[in-house]
Copies of this chain bind each other. A is one copy, B any other.
């Protein structure tokens, strides 16, 4: 069994999809939560000065979505042809775009934060969630491929869990098809075990 080590900050963020992927696959991993005061020393040693970092037998992987796609391919959570893999990539990108809009609001300067919030609540969130929920309905409780859990389902569930913290409420609470996916992933043995022991977040706010 290879050794897996995930390094990320002390909150969910872009580390959570990687943690969820490993948990779902039922592999043991070192959950290295980097304290803010250790960050300045660690940053220059990283491939692009960023976390998450995944080390597999010491080999470094960075960039959240490429890591999840890679883990998907080794844990049999991909499609069976190029079009199916496109479907997976595409919905993961859609979820990532929504995450990015929310993160840009969350970390924005106070002077533009209120106007961005209105745009999020009235436009971006309902628009993206509508599209994602419609797709989950079409795929019958999966996000990319009907009848098969893929890395995009796991990625999305972890990202929605992170978004919950950023927004202060569960944005998918009324999306019954996304909820089905969440329920399925969160109740998988490895994820259940991970969630039971997951440390409480220490969110860092910059303003």
Q: Is A70 an interface residue (CB 8 A)?
A: yes
The chain B residue with its CB closest to the CB of A59 is: B83
* Distance between Cα atoms of A85 and B93 in the complex (Å): 17
Q: Which residues of B contact A187 (CB under 8 A)?
A: none
Contact call B127/A49, Cβ cutoff below 8 A: yes
Closest to A72 in B: B82
Of A4-12, A33-41, A61-69, the one touching chain B: A61-69
**Contact A70 B83, CB 8 Å, known A49-B127, A63-B89, A65-B89:** yes
Number of residues in A with C-beta < 8 Å to the partner? Answer: 26
Q: A70-B85, A86-B66, A86-B69 are in contact. Are A94 and B48 (CB under 8 A)?
A: yes
A193 CB–B CB distance under 8 Å: no
Given A49-B127, A127-B49, A131-B48, is A90 in contact with B73 using a C-beta cutoff of 8 Å? no
The number of times this chain is found in the oligomer is 2
Known: A48-B94, A48-B131, A94-B48. A74 touches B66 (CB 8 A): no
* Selected contact of A62 from candidates B69, B83, B90, CB within 8 Å: B90
Q: A48-B131, A49-B127 are in contact. Are A90 and B74 (CB under 8 A)?
A: no
Contacts of A85 in B (CB 8 A): 69-70, 73
- The residue on B at minimum CB distance from A109 is B112
The CA of A70 and the CA of B69, in the complex, are separated in Å by: 14
Chain B hits for A112, CB < 8 A: 109, 112
B90 touches A63 (CB 8 A): yes
Chain B residue with the shortest CB-CB distance to A100: B100
Q: Give the chain B neighbours of A127 by CB distance below 8 A.
A: 49
Q: Assess the A66–B83 pair: CB atoms within 8 A.
A: no
Who on chain B is nearest to A47 by CB?
B131
A/B interface sample: 11 pairs, CB < 8 A: A48-B131, A62-B90, A63-B89, A63-B94, A66-B90, A67-B86, A69-B89, A70-B86, A70-B89, A73-B82, A109-B112
